[in-house]
Amino acid sequence: MPPNAKHVANCHSKVSRSFAAPPSACCGCENTTVLRRDGEHHRVTGRKYYSTGTAFADFARINVESEQGDPLALIIPVARDGVQVLDDWDGMGQRMTASGSLLLHDVQVFADEIAARDGSTLVGRHCGALRQLHLVATAAGIVRNVVADARRYVLAHGRPVLHSPAPTARDDHFIQQIPDRRTRVLIPLRPQPTSRKTS
> Does the structure show a pLDDT above 50 at 199?
no
Q: Tens digits of per-residue pLDDT, 74-122?
A: 999 999 999 999 888 776 666 677 778 899 999 999 999 998 887 777 7
**Which pTM value belongs to this model?**
0.60
> Does the structure show a pLDDT above 90 at 68?
yes
Can you tell me the mean pLDDT for 164-180?
75
Angle, helices 122-156/178-186, rounded to nearest 10 degrees = 170
pLDDT at position 170 is 76
The CATH label, of 2.40.110.10, 2.60.120.560, 3.30.70.1520, 3.40.50.2000, for the domain at 5-116 is 2.40.110.10
pLDDT at position 84 is 94
Of 59 and 53, the one with more pLDDT: 59
Report the Cα–Cα distance between both ends of the chain, in Å, rounded.
37
Alpha carbon separation from 37 to 6, 80, 134 (Å, rounded): 24, 18, 36
